Amino acid sequence: MDHILLTRSLFGMTMAFHIIFATLGVGLPLMIMISEICYLRTKDSDYATMAKRWTKGLGVLIGVAIPSGTIAGVQLSILWPGFMKVVGEVIALPFQIEIFAFFLEALFLSIYVYGAARLSSRMRLVSVTLVAIGATLSAVLITDVHTFESTPQGFTIKNGQITDVDPWIAFFNPGFFTNALHVIFSAYMTGAFVLASIAAYRMLQHKTSPKEYNFYQKALMMTIVVGSISSLLTALNGHEAGQVLYRHNPERLAAGEGLFRTTAYAPLALGGIPDPETGTVKYAIEIPWMLSFLANNRFDTVVKGLYDFPRNMWPPLYIHSMFNGMVMIGGLLIFLPLVPWMLKKIYRYEKFPRWVLWCFVPSGILSVLAIEFGWIYSCVGRQPWTIYRIQLTKHAATATENVGIFFVLFLGMYLLLCAATLVVFRYYFKRHPLASELAGVEVKE
């Protein structure tokens, strides 16, 4: 395998693993915070139990996210020395601020977990709110470095030397706010639907008692409402993200949509296989004029096609499938929660039909897949650049040749961590069944 491709694959594998735990580490604190709010308003101990059990799960996930994130940081320095030189001189600010965001999250998570028995319900809410804020800020700050790679500014390079550095201009690059919101909304969506998936699955099990069923039904209703709203906000924000691509990364927009010829009234291609020889997307379903509208809010907007750029500057065309997968899953997750709501309104169901619950079981996995597809689309779509139109990937990568050995070693380690995570979850929740907690939950007022 090509050395550069292997280096990218190793770091890509690390990020694909880490992003699952990091995303849930942002989404779950929001759900815990909402459950604390529900308990504070209703005094229903089921919501206190939700917060307690979800917090245990969050602790396990953060326990994996921290070492995997540390590995990603080390790999950045080892695998991408050329890129890290620019980071150190131009865009180190988000990394520095993120230390304080992580400290905020870790401090108040410790207070929330270990001081729960001594805190009032209001102070628990304050603590978990600060956990959610810290986790969200961490995600936004780390993502800002990634956004800078696509919309770099705040410095110039003269004769190979970095000059005229303004770290705040680099920090607030053109894609900052749009991508920050996209990361936040998609993380909230993922956290909600993963919990909805678990609740729906438990409701389908015949051994679930009526009291447990009622508990999971409350959890399901809460999570699908948050998940649906977050999915809708992600989609609306995605429209703005498409406009950022139109203005700053036209090659990625064209590759993602399989658009080869510059055209006005450009159609949106769903599905299909991009064919650079014919300049079409085979087997695609086209929505007339929609790409032009998404790009600039006008149906007659002229959108640049890939033929306007040198072939060696094209991103890999398979990102079209990544973009389609992300969009279709996101659309499904917006409308899926409407099914139980409509059934409840029309047929006055007290319990959802089993087929409805089965629809929600895969929603957690689908939301995680949407995150992975979006990350691949964003990172691979920037190729062949590490810093768009400034630094090529081949100039940023390490010259070390034995990357393949590390790829195998890290793959084995990630598989081991996945297995260990599942074992810990199974062990803990088997030792602490829901029935016993519902029977004896103790909450300090």
Token representation of residue 100:
């304080």
CB of 371 closer than 8 Å to CB of 20 = yes
Give residue 443's pLDDT.
44
Amino acid identity of residue 3, one-letter, is H
The torsion angles phi and psi of 12, rounded to 5 degrees, stand at -65, -40
Neighbours of 442 (CB within 10 A): 10
Look up the pTM and report it. Answer: 0.92
Query: By C-alpha distance, which of 103, 195, 101 is closest to 139?
Result: 101
Give residue 444's pLDDT.
44
The torsion angles phi and psi of 311, rounded to 5 degrees, stand at -60, -35
Query: By C-alpha distance, which of 43, 13, 170, 28 is closest to 445?
Result: 43
How do the pLDDT tens digits run along the chain, 445 residues long? 578 888 899 999 999 999 999 999 999 999 999 999 999 999 888 898 999 999 999 989 988 888 888 888 888 888 899 898 888 899 999 988 999 998 999 999 989 888 777 878 888 899 999 999 999 999 999 999 999 999 999 998 888 788 889 999 999 999 999 999 999 999 999 999 999 999 999 999 877 788 888 899 999 989 999 999 999 999 999 889 999 999 999 999 999 999 999 999 999 998 889 999 888 899 888 899 999 998 988 899 999 999 999 999 999 999 999 999 999 999 899 888 887 777 766 666 667 788 888 989 999 999 999 999 999 999 999 999 999 999 999 988 888 778 888 889 989 989 999 999 999 988 888 888 887 777 764 444 4
Pairing mode of beta strands 280-282, 273-275: antiparallel
Give residue 173's pLDDT.
94
CB of 217 closer than 8 Å to CB of 203 = yes
Give residue 1's pLDDT.
56
Give residue 100's pLDDT.
92
Q: What is the DSSP code string of 322-340?
A: HHHHHHHHHHHHHHTTHHH
Give residue 405's pLDDT.
86
Give residue 310's pLDDT.
93
Cα distances (angstroms) measured from residue 301 to each of 169, 241, 274: 29, 16, 22
Give residue 442's pLDDT.
46
Residues near 425 by beta carbon (within 8 Å), at least 6 away in sequence: 57, 60
Helix (H) or strand (E) holding 370: helix 363-380
CB of 376 closer than 8 Å to CB of 320 = no
DSSP symbol at 116: G
